[in-house]
Structure formats: structure tokens, C-alpha cells
């Protein structure tokens, strides 16, 4: 277990999110056992560019808002990826977010 294992855990959980589903930082943090470290989850995903193919577009904040889209290469990229999986986006918010929310 390295000190960066936290990142690995985040990546692992994010990769576990099935297509057409979305998850929140808080749930992931809770799954990691840190619960209150939702901010750190975002930090981990911030380094996701250093890792291979992390479906970070499926991770949104508690409101289902695509807060992280600004960190993608293209703002439309995250939205397109989600819509491609059947997730409708309106004003950067996930439609029927609660139904599509994936809970570990």
C-alpha cells in the first residue's frame, strides 16, 4: 500500500461505475472509508490525467452537476460522453440524476 493508494482506490471505484450511471464524490469518499474527504476524491481525479482511461465523466457532485467538466480537454466532451451513455444533461446538470445515481 503506497501513500498514493488513495488515488488508486478512487480510480478503482470510478472504473467500477457502470455505463449510463453516475456517482458522486461523497459516495466514492464514503466507499473509500474517508467519507468526509470528498474534496480529496476530486483531487485524486485531478491526477486522473496521469492514469489510463478513468471514466471521470461519470463522477459528478452531489447535485448531479458536472462541476468537473471544466477540467476536461473540452467542456462538451464530458457532456457528450454522458449523453452517449444515455445520460441527458441540461445546463450542466444530470437529468433524472437520482435514478442514474450509482451507489456502491
Binding site for DNA (CB under 7 A): 3-4, 6-7, 24-26, 34, 36-43, 45-49, 56, 59, 61-63, 67-68, 70-72
Distances (CA, A) of 13 to 27, 51, 92: 10, 14, 23
Residue 86: CB minimum distance to DNA, A:
19
DSSP string covering 80-97, please?
A: HHHHHTT--EETTEETTH
Residue 20: CB minimum distance to DNA, A:
18
Residue 62: CB minimum distance to DNA, A:
3
Amino acid at each position: 500500500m503506497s501513500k498514493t493508494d488513495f488515488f488508486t482506490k478512487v480510480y478503482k471505484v470510478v472504473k467500477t461505475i457502470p455505463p449510463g450511471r453516475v456517482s458522486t464524490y461523497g459516495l466514492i469518499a464514503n466507499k473509500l472509508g474517508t467519507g468526509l474527504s470528498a474534496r480529496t476524491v476530486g483531487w485524486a481525479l485531478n491526477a486522473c490525467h496521469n492514469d489510463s482511461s478513468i471514466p471521470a465523466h461519470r463522477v459528478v457532485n452531489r447535485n448531479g452537476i458536472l462541476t468537473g467538466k471544466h477540467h476536461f480537454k473540452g467542456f462538451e466532451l464530458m457532456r457528450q460522453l454522458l449523453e452517449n451513455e444515455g445520460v441527458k444533461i441540461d445546463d450542466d446538470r444530470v437529468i433524472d440524476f437520482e435514478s442514474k445515481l450509482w451507489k456502491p
